[in-house]
Structure 1
């Protein structure tokens, strides 16, 4: 058995376990940390697979299954926990998160590799939701005012689903080194996010994702010209 070929899958399974643990914890703080850990492992498995040159179809499928749990099932379940109203109908928006994640990952698997993402990646939409979870947990006035409104609570997953399944070209942080302008775009994004953390860490993640989408609109317009 070639152990080297199994190393990326180990990190993929760690992502899967983090997603499942986030569901079991059912705590906005602990579960958010676990989902962030899952994102870390999701990045690491791809980097290691490319570094070791052991990318495979099995690894790609396993990665999507792990992502479905960590960036689909887990955030959908946690979203129910921040529902403004204790009523079964408030579970429906969570299904948009789950379905959008499944469709986005399936589409990603059948599309040829490109230098950009098509539609908002599932980790990015989960990153946005984690920001909401943390905001609710630590009483962010802005986050709480958004979630306390049933209409906004319903609208957020719908908007994320539209972005997930859109044809908008989103720049990828994995493509760093591609060109000077591309590197500057990524550097600007990272610096902006760091500033957001310093200004208001409770809002840094959702606002960071919004800025990422806006910058991607500019990027998409530029490459389509």
Structure 2
């Protein structure tokens, strides 16, 4: 009777040892997103325009970190599965949850508004999950994905820019552009439809954007 070979012990995964320089920039991206959420909540308590604008400013800062982490990973040839997952999780916070929080703080807090903001975040999560699953196929054997299916989630920086401009003009809260409509049991601010459009474009299967 043949004695079965012993199963080799599973090697402990050391997260710290697996970290690369690019991952530090990815965490910078996530930190910006969390900071934006905190500032949005602080704005709702204080109504300080400065806090709202600082929260909005963290969105393009997060975008800079997002661009740099990819470039550093390719430069140092340190792309990894851990880095890819970190990047997606950071993007969900900075370009999904944070813009939705800013929208809510700006006055998109009607029942339909909230449903749209939840839809927007869910679209962002789904888009990133799809990208991670299909990245290998989209790269066609090369090291780089040739195109995006749907708009990349960092495009939500545009939404944050619109909200920041509205705040600068004093057009948030009761003064939101387009006013408020009562549709059925809930209130809808037309400005929330921009989030619905952005989310829908992110999960589009037919929209293909070349990646440079």
Question: Following TM superposition, by how much is the alpha carbon of 1:81 offset from its aligned partner in structure 2, in angstroms?
Answer: 1.5
Question: In the TM superposition, what whole-angstrom CA distance separates every residue of 1:73-109 from its partner, at most 9, and x where no partner exists?
Answer: 111111112225x545532221022111100110110
Higher helix share: 1
Instruction: Give the alignment's Cα RMSD to 1 decimal.
Output: 2.5
Give the 3 Å change call, closer, same or farther, for CA 75–87 of structure 1 in structure 2.
same
Which residue in 1 is equivalent to 2:149? 118
Contact 1:28 1:134 in 2 (8 A): yes
CA–CA distance in structure 2, aligned partners of residues 89 and 166 of structure 1 = 22
Gaps of 5+ in 1: 176-225
Question: Following TM superposition, by how much is the alpha carbon of 1:20 offset from its aligned partner in structure 2, in angstroms?
Answer: 0.2
Work out which of the two has the higher radius of gyration on C-alpha atoms and give 1 or 2.
2
TM-score (norm 1): 0.68
CA–CA distance in structure 1, aligned partners of residues 170 and 25 of structure 2 = 33
Question: Following TM superposition, by how much is the alpha carbon of 1:159 offset from its aligned partner in structure 2, in angstroms?
Answer: 1.3
Which residue in 1 is equivalent to 2:164? 134
CA–CA distance in structure 2, aligned partners of residues 22 and 130 of structure 1 = 11
Match of 2:128 among 92, 105, 111: 105
Match of 2:62 among 38, 43, 68: 38
Gaps of 5+ in 2: 1-13, 41-50, 140-144, 182-187
Give the 3 Å change call, closer, same or farther, for CA 41–147 of structure 1 in structure 2.
farther
CA–CA distance in structure 2, aligned partners of residues 7 and 31 of structure 1 = 26
TM-score (norm 2): 0.72
How many residues are aligned here? 170
Contact 2:117 2:196 in 1 (8 A): no
